[in-house]
């Protein structure tokens, strides 16, 4: 059985750990509020922008290489979005499992399946299994910005337009709430804009609008903005999901530490009582022996 000193040391160590997990929970909660605010403000703009593109392309019969699907998909680039740090429950594990399963199921069917990692955890996992990425971005949590997303988006667009890949897909955690993050796999390229606002009953959208500059120039510019925003939105969703997952994980860790402290304290009190009882028995026995 552990000595009283050992039990006291374990209690003190667990209390210190509890303070750390509690602090990490509070930090993640503060960052989550900012990330949620960012996503909430971004979603309406992203939806409206996509509708405008759909309206113009449908009414003006505009086509663009970024919206044109290939006849057959033989070359795929999978963008895997994870975090750089751990201690966030199953946040990274769920993404990595999905990406690894996708590779196992689709690699034999495709001519080429490459990876583009955003986040250290995904890169570390696949690197150990001999899967190299064409490019990797780190420090997403600290450096996330529209400029970063724009740089990533431009590289993805270049890979698609030069024919390196027939399809580019993105795997990330979509933020629903602090306790709910859903693994999502969506097609980034080609861009899909089927829904148009004038399809809805009662819409006032006119098909006789005169454009200046040309509809083709407008669509090209809006498509780039839409794609940049899609990448930035996915990054923001992932960061918010990471903070939510870490907040939940640290809350569970804090509660577990509290339970452990209670059990150790009970064990300590029992051991201390046994020691006191033993000492009293020895004193009484010694006194009886003297008589």
**pLDDT for residue 202:** 42
Q: Of the candidates 121, 116, 122, 120, which has an alpha carbon nearest to the alpha carbon of residue 135? A: 116
For residues 189-208, give the mean pLDDT. Answer: 60
**211-241 pLDDT, tens digit each:** 778 888 888 888 989 899 989 988 988 988 9
Structural domains present in the chain: 25-193+208-248 (3.40.1380.10)
Average pLDDT, the chain: 85
- pLDDT tops 70 at residue 199: no
Residue 206 has a pLDDT of 59
**Residue 185 annotated to the active site:** no
pLDDT at residue 250 is higher than 80: yes
Q: What is the mean pLDDT of residues 260-274?
A: 89
% residues pLDDT > 90 (the chain) = 29
pLDDT band at 17 (very low <50, low <70, confident <90, very high): very high
**Residue 200: pLDDT band with limits 50, 70, 90:** very low
Instruction: Assess whether pLDDT exceeds 60 at residue 90.
Output: yes
Instruction: Name residues whose C-beta falls within 8 Å of residue 216's C-beta, 6 or more positions apart in sequence.
Output: 62, 64
Lowest mean pLDDT among 39-43, 247-251, 253-257: 39-43
CB-based contacts of 260: which residues, under 8 Å, 6+ apart? 14
Percent over 70 (pLDDT), the chain: 93
Annotated active-site residue in 88, 144, 149, 189? 88
pLDDT tens across 105-140, in order? 998 889 999 999 998 999 999 999 888 889 888 877
> Which pLDDT score, from 0 to 100, does residue 125 have?
92
DSSP result, the chain:
---HHHHHHHHHHHHHHHHHHHHHHHHHHHHHHHHHHHHHHHHHHHHHHHHHHHHHHHHHT---GGG---SS--EEEEEEE--S---STTHHHHHHHHHHHHHHHHTTT-SEEEEEEESHHHHHHHHTTT--EEEEE--HHHH--HHHHHHHHHHHHHHHHTTS-SEEEEEEEEEEETTEEEEEEEEEES------GGGSTT----S----SS-HHHHHHHHHHHHHHHHHHHHHHHHHHHHHHHHHHHHHHHHHHHHHHHHHHHHHHHHHHHHHHHHHHHHHHHHHHHH-
Q: How far apart are CA 222 and CA 106, in angstroms?
A: 32
Over the stretch 132-186, which tens digit does the pLDDT of each residue have?
Answer: 889 888 877 666 788 888 889 999 999 999 888 999 999 999 888 878 888 999 8
Q: What is the phi/psi pair of residue 78, to 5°? A: -105, 115
If you count them, how many residues does the chain have?
Answer: 291
More confident residue, 67 or 178: 67
Backbone region of residue 3 per phi and psi (left: phi > 0; alpha: psi in -120 to 50; beta: other values): beta
Give the tokens for residue 199.
Answer: 């399809």
Distance, in Å, from the CA atom of 75 to the CA atom of 214, rounded to the nearest integer, reads 33
Residues 236, 81: Cα–Cα separation, whole Å: 11
- Token pair, residue 87, equals 């201690």
Per the CB < 8 A criterion, the answer to whether 147 and 131 are in contact is no
């Amino acid at each position: 059985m552990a000595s009283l000193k050992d039990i006291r040391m374990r209690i003190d160590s667990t209390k210190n750990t509890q303070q750390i997990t509690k602090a990490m929970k509070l930090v993640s909660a503060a960052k989550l509020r900012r990330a949620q605010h960012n996503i909430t403000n971004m979603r309406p703009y992203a939806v409206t922008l996509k509708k405008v593109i759909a309206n113009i392309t449908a009414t003006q019969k505009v086509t663009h290489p970024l919206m044109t699907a290939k006849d057959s998909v033989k070359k795929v680039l999978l963008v895997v979005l994870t975090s750089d740090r751990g201690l966030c429950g199953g946040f990274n594990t769920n993404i990595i499992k999905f990406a690894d399963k996708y590779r196992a199921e689709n690699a034999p069917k495709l001519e080429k399946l490459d990876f583009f990692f955003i986040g250290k955890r995904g890169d570390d996992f696949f690197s150990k299994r001999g899967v190299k990425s064409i490019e990797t971005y780190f420090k997403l949590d600290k450096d996330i910005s529209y400029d970063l997303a724009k740089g990533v988006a431009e590289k993805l667009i270049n890979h698609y337009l030069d024919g390196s890949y027939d399809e580019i897909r993105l795997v990330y955690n979509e933020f629903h709430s602090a306790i709910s993050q859903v693994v999502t796999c969506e097609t980034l390229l080609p861009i899909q804009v089927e829904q148009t606002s004038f399809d809805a009953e009662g819409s006032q959208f006119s098909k006789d609008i005169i454009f200046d500059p040309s509809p083709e120039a407008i669509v090209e510019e809006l498509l780039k903005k839409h794609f940049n925003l899609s990448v930035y939105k996915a990054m923001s969703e992932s960061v918010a999901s990471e903070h939510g997952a870490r907040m939940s994980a640290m809350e569970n860790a804090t509660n577990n530490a509290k339970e452990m402290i209670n059990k150790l304290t009970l064990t300590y009190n029992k051991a201390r009582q046994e020691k006191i009882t033993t000492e009293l028995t020895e004193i009484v026995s010694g006194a009886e022996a003297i008589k």
